[in-house]
Structure 1
């Protein structure tokens, strides 16, 4: 009887261990898919991720003066016709907006595809 109890406990332990191991294997796969989606989007529009703190001062000033209360949360840059064009993800009073601006702080009207 004692052996039967030990056998059942060992079987239950192996079952729980295999379920835990399977759950751990699935998590990194989801992360890889998310990274792949971000990578595809970056390639699609040729913008490269940029640290918000690395934005030129003219852009920071334009955001502060023209978009009163806006905060740049993310930034991307690409070269277009010999000039740098910046794409910004702005938080304007809790509302998310995308905006395009050049390195001198001039806003660019552009459709976000």
Structure 2
């Protein structure tokens, strides 16, 4: 009887252990997604958030003249090659858009940033 009880306890322990080991196996797709998230976070860390109220006047003017009706909702800035590059989150006619601009109000194409 003792052997039967010990056998059942051992079988139960092995079952619980095997379930725990299976739960720790990582899904390759999830690992890839996590790497993508980390890559985006690294890119975001280059930019520092700034208040849209303190944007240079040249940027405010460019938004008003080039994107009539657009509103800057968020802004970030970074230094690149001695220049300040601003990343803007704009609300253009109810749609959110990202745009890049330098401190002089010159729009920057995504591939140039």
Q: Please indicate, yes or no, whether the TM-score normalized by the shorter chain is above 0.5.
A: yes
Moved over 6 A (4+): none
Instruction: Please state how far the C-alpha of 1:104 moved relative to its aligned partner.
Output: 0.4
- Matches of 1:44 and 1:106 in 2, distance apart? 22
Calculate the TM-score normalised by the size of structure 1.
0.60
Aligned length: 72
Residue 43 of structure 2 corresponds to 44
Larger radius of gyration: 2
Tell me the equivalent position of 2:31. Answer: none
Deviation digits for residues 53-88 of structure 1 (CA, Å, limit 9, x no counterpart): 010000000000000100000000000010000000
Which runs of 5 or more residues in structure 2 are unaligned? 1-36
Quick one: distance in 1 between partners of 2:68 and 2:93?
A: 9
The TM-score, its normalising length taken from structure 2, stands at: 0.60
Structure 1 unaligned runs (5+)? Answer: 1-36
Deviation at 1:44, TM superposition (A): 2.5
